[in-house]
């Protein structure tokens, strides 16, 4: 369907713009859901509806910070796992064995909190990207 529609487009229009004019059009195009500038211009010329994207900067900042936090928590989890693998070699000493058991419990709690943060972040991100 798309190829057939494009194959009918045999006429070309050349238009010269100032830098400011082009920047203004480009800014409006980038704020729309159109993937190509030509699609945006075609819709504009033929009075078709153009869906624009409205961003909430504070929500964008929150999402960025949450993503950084999630990465940091994952790195901490990886470091903890590496530490415990080393400690497992010392299991013969009773104090270490008790500590390892306690660590495993704490690790599960920590992991569940990371999972909750990931689910929450994904939900917010998905919702935000849909709007």
pLDDT digits (tens, 9 = 90+) for 28-49: 888 888 888 988 888 888 888 8
Band (1; pLDDT cuts 50, 70, 90): very low
Band (20; pLDDT cuts 50, 70, 90): very high
pLDDT of residue 21: 93
Q: What is the mean pLDDT of the chain?
A: 80
pLDDT at 55 over 70: no
Assess whether 78 and 115 both reside in one domain.
yes
Report yes or no on 51 lying in a domain: no
Q: 88-110, pLDDT tens digit by residue?
A: 777 667 677 777 788 888 888 88
- In percent, how much of the chain has pLDDT > 70? 87
Assess whether 35 and 73 both reside in one domain.
no
Alpha helices in the chain (DSSP H): 2-7, 19-30, 37-45, 57-88, 94-130
Assess whether 29 and 62 both reside in one domain.
no
Assess whether 35 and 63 both reside in one domain.
no
**What is the C-alpha separation between 20 and 26, in angstroms, rounded?**
10
**What is the C-alpha separation between 1 and 46, in angstroms, rounded?**
20
pLDDT of residue 56: 65
Specify the number of domains making up the chain. Answer: 2
Please answer whether residues 73 and 114 qualify as being in contact, where contact means their C-beta atoms are separated by less than 8 angstroms: yes
Report yes or no on 81 lying in a domain: yes
Containing domain of residue 122, as a range? 57-130
Crossing angle of the two packed helices 57-88 and 94-130, in degrees rounded to 10: 160
Assess whether 36 and 70 both reside in one domain.
no
Rg (CA), the chain: 27
**What is the C-alpha separation between 71 and 85, in angstroms, rounded?**
21
Q: Is 40 exposed, middle or buried (0-12, 13-18, 19+ CB in 10 A)?
A: buried
pLDDT of residue 75: 83
Question: What length is written for the chain?
Answer: 131
């Amino acid at each position: 369907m798309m190829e057939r529609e494009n194959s009918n487009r045999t006429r070309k229009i050349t238009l010269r713009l100032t830098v400011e004019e082009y920047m203004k059009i480009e800014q409006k195009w980038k704020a729309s859901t159109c993937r190509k500038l030509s699609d945006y211009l075609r819709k504009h010329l033929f009075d078709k509806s153009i869906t624009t994207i409205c961003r909430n900067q504070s929500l964008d900042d929150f999402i960025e910070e949450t993503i950084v936090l999630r990465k940091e928590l994952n790195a901490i989890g990886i470091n903890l796992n590496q530490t415990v693998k080393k400690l497992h070699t010392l299991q013969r000493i009773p104090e270490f064995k008790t500590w390892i058991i306690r660590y495993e419990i704490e690790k599960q709690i920590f992991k569940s909190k990371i999972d909750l943060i990931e689910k929450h972040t994904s939900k917010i991100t998905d919702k935000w990207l849909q709007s």
